[in-house]
């Protein structure tokens, strides 16, 4: 076992290459039924997840290959295996990342998110633990257990989301309300927090609720008074700080998009490391 996903346990499996020489490693996610979920609901959920993910093709999104059953009758999803572990482990072991390294991972992340949003998919649980790395350092977005489609290929209108999902420090403030929200803005918020975690090695806050977190309440106060928030003010250059503030705008209607991040002055200035190509 290599880890736990949002909706299952992940194992490593191997299969002989088609030419018969050597073996290839794969990550196999064994789906688990949620509490109060019927058999039909369980099958529909995992089938829907597989149908979406099997169509995604991007260097920074984990490749989903097959949906099958194991010898015990459990449904399993076969994915490419990333030998480099996850971003959380890398940041935890290093304390924090160097600027060039964090920037490279961030730009890869935003490219992957831009692609997902173009395909009508939102992740809704972005965090370093769900960002896998290849042996050479290419970042791959994984664990789509909370993902959803906000727009089908034949639709123009955006479907709003509801319900609390995600992981503590990375959840956008609008998710805590009773209102529906745009899942794309939620993903962008999480990416902004992830960048701070890479650069500082710590969380900005425990949860983005002004009544439940003093640090987040201070952040909101600093924004209203146009005073700099120290964890973000420590970032350089100025163009970087501007983008992070725009990604962490408490008002989701003002929050910038993944495409706007990549087209910003800072986004264009970030030099991708060799592994990203």
| Residue 86 Cα distances to 56, 73, 91, 233, angstroms | 20, 29, 9, 27
The partner residues of 30 in beta bridges, in order of sequence, read 9, 76
Residue 6, both tokens: 């949002």
**Which backbone phi and psi does 46 adopt, to 5 degrees?**
-70, -30
Any catalytic annotation for residue 222?
A: no
- CA 153/CA 172 separation, integer angstroms: 26
- CA 82/CA 138 separation, integer angstroms: 9
Residue 214, both tokens: 């003093």
Per the residue annotation, which of 125, 182, 187, 249 is the catalytic one? 125
**Residues taking part in catalysis:** 125
């Amino acid at each position: 076992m290599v880890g736990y996903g949002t909706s299952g346990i992940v194992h490593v499996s191997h299969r002989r290459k088609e030419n018969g020489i050597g073996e290839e490693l794969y990550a196999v996610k064994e789906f688990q039924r949620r509490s109060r979920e019927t058999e039909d609901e369980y099958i529909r959920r995992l089938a829907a997840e597989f149908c979406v993910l099997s169509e995604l093709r991007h260097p920074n999104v984990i490749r989903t290959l097959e949906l099958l059953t194991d010898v015990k009758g459990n449904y399993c999803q076969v994915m490419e295996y990333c030998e480099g572990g996850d971003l959380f482990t890398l940041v935890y072991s290093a304390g924090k990342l160097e600027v060039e390294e964090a920037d490279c991972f961030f730009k890869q992340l935003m490219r992957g998110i831009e692609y997902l949003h173009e395909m009508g998919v939102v992740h809704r649980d972005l965090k370093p633990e769900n960002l896998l790395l290849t042996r050479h350092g290419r970042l791959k977005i994984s664990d789509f257990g909370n993902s959803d489609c906000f727009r089908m290929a034949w639709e123009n209108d955006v479907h709003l989301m509801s319900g609390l999902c995600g992981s503590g420090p990375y959840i956008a403030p609008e998710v805590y309300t009773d209102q529906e929200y745009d899942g794309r803005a939620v993903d962008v918020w999480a990416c902004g927090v992830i960048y701070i975690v890479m650069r500082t090695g710590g969380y900005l806050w425990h949860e983005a609720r002004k009544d439940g977190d003093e640090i987040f309440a201070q952040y909101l106060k600093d924004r209203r008074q146009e005073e700099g928030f120290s964890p973000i003010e420590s970032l350089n250059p100025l163009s970087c700080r501007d983008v992070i503030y725009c990604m962490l705008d408490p008002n989701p209607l003002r929050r910038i998009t993944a495409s706007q991040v990549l087209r910003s002055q800072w986004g264009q200035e970030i030099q991708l490391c060799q592994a990203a190509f």
